[in-house]
């Protein structure tokens, strides 16, 4: 390595040391914090697959480091929840929190012994694969989505087979549950962590792999959380008072005089901008789910529709509680879902989210925590040797958030 490369590597280790001192401060044992630093270094600097053996070979680590890295992830008993909370607080200090969103990751696996592994349809390819499924909570800043919490879906025998559960060290409280329950669990955790974590809207795609969209939105409403949720055209809503009419968002936007059209300018793939039509329902709707009311008064929501430009694709629909935001701002928020999905791909390609080889439930969570920390470090500090610029990044985040969609005027949805 050249003298410049040595200085850059040394500088990167100093910044990693500072980063781990903050994020991994909840780990009370100095040994755990030391191995966290080395594992983080390995995730950031090891090309290709990130296994303990390859990370030990790639880094300036002593003999036997591969065993130590393996033990730190698979056998140590350190709690990952406080580390993830510290990571979220660190990110909120460096970046403006724009929204909370959720995305899942499918990790292909051979065999049936990796914790949580089961057969599932991969909607991206249309094939049934043997995989683990993780559900991640992402903190969106406008330009980035940072993973800050994870849940592992326990389908099939992992929910009831006591022998499998004991071998994988799955806590008794961890059971199989629908995706919507994971989302509301994340929301509960963020709410408890406030005011350390800022309050921001929840941006969710409830059209895929979620069989209780109404329940999820009602659960967020009970916690008085704002949201922008993409829903199927068959999503049931209530219209009118005192005797409400039951309808769907798709039927609602087909009614005469129900639509208020907006034309927004969206960046095109070829450069420049293209016009995109968005319809807003002229009235308000309520949710059909019981329990969504506060003090006996049901919250009201707006419905947005983005028709297909050429009729080849189905229209898209969103329900939002952001009554006073402009249409362009609501749809800019909705784009957080796209950013989160892109982040999942990057986590697999560059940060080792697909490379965990252990079989235990704690090991999976330890590895995912380290992957999240590595992604955060790289986004905050850039390439090795770079210096973070929180103020510049905040400006970029605001500009990106405002520029995703540009429309005429900034009237609220209720205007």
Kindly list the domain boundaries of the chain, sorted by start residue: 225-321
* Residues of the chain under the 50 pLDDT cut: 1-8, 291, 385-412, 414-415
pLDDT number for residue 309:
77
Q: How far is CA 288 from the centre of its chain?
A: 27
Q: Please, are residues 46 and 55 in contact by the beta-carbon 8 Å criterion?
A: yes
Enter the pTM of the model. 0.87
pLDDT tens sequence across 356-414: 988 999 999 999 999 999 999 999 987 554 444 443 333 333 333 333 333 333 344 54
Residue with tokens 């205007």: 415
The whole-number pLDDT of residue 19 equals 94
The tokens of 267 are what?
Answer: 């960046």
Contact (Cβ atoms closer than 8 angstroms) between residue 303 and residue 281? yes
End-to-end CA distance of the chain: 62
Long-range contacts, 274-278 (Cβ 8 Å, 24+): 276/306, 276/309, 276/405, 277/306, 277/307, 277/309, 278/304, 278/305, 278/306, 278/327, 278/331
Please give the structure tokens belonging to residue 144. Answer: 């980035």
In three-state secondary structure terms, 143 is: coil
């Amino acid at each position: 390595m050249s003298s410049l490369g040595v200085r850059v590597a040394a500088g990167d280790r100093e910044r990693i040391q500072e980063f781990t001192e903050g994020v991994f401060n909840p780990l009370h044992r100095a040994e755990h914090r030391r191995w966290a630093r080395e594992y983080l270094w390995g995730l950031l600097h090891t090309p290709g697959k990130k296994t303990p053996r390859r990370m030990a070979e790639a880094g300036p680590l002593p003999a036997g480091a591969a065993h130590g890295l393996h033990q730190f992830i698979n056998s140590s008993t350190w709690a990952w929840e406080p580390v993830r909370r510290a990571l979220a607080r660190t990110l909120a200090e460096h970046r403006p929190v724009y929204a909370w969103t959720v995305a899942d990751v499918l990790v292909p696996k051979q065999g049936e012994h990796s914790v949580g592994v089961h057969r599932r349809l991969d909607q991206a390819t249309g094939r049934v694969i043997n995989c683990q499924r993780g559900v991640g909570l992402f903190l969106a800043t406008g330009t980035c989505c940072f993973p800050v919490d994870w849940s592992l879906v326990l389908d099939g025998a992992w929910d009831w087979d006591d022998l499998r559960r004991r071998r994988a060290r799955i806590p008794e409280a961890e059971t199989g549950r629908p995706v919507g329950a994971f989302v509301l669990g994340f929301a509960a955790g963020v709410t408890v962590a406030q005011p350390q974590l800022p309050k921001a809207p929840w941006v969710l795609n409830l059209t895929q792999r979620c069989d209780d969209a109404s329940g999820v939105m009602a659960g967020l409403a009970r916690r008085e959380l704002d949201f922008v949720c993409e829903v199927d055209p068959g999503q049931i809503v209530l219209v009118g008072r005192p005797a409400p009419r039951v309808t769907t968002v798709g039927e609602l936007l087909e009614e005469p005089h129900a639509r208020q059209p907006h034309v927004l300018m969206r960046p095109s793939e070829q450069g420049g901008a293209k016009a995109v039509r968005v319809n807003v329902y002229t009235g308000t709707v309520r949710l059909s789910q019981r329990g969504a009311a506060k003090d006996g008064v049901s919250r009201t929501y707006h419905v947005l529709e983005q028709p297909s430009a050429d009729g080849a694709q189905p229209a898209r629909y969103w329900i939002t509680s952001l009554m006073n935001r402009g249409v362009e701002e609501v749809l800019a928020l909705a784009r957080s879902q796209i950013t989160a999905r892109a982040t999942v791909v990057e986590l697999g390609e560059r940060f080792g989210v697909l490379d965990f080889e252990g079989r235990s439930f704690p090991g999976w969570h330890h590895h995912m925590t380290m992957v999240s920390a590595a992604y955060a470090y790289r986004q905050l500090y850039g390439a090795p040797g770079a210096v973070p610029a929180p103020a510049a990044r905040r400006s970029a985040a605001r500009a990106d958030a405002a520029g995703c969609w540009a429309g005429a005027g900034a009237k609220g949805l209720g205007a």
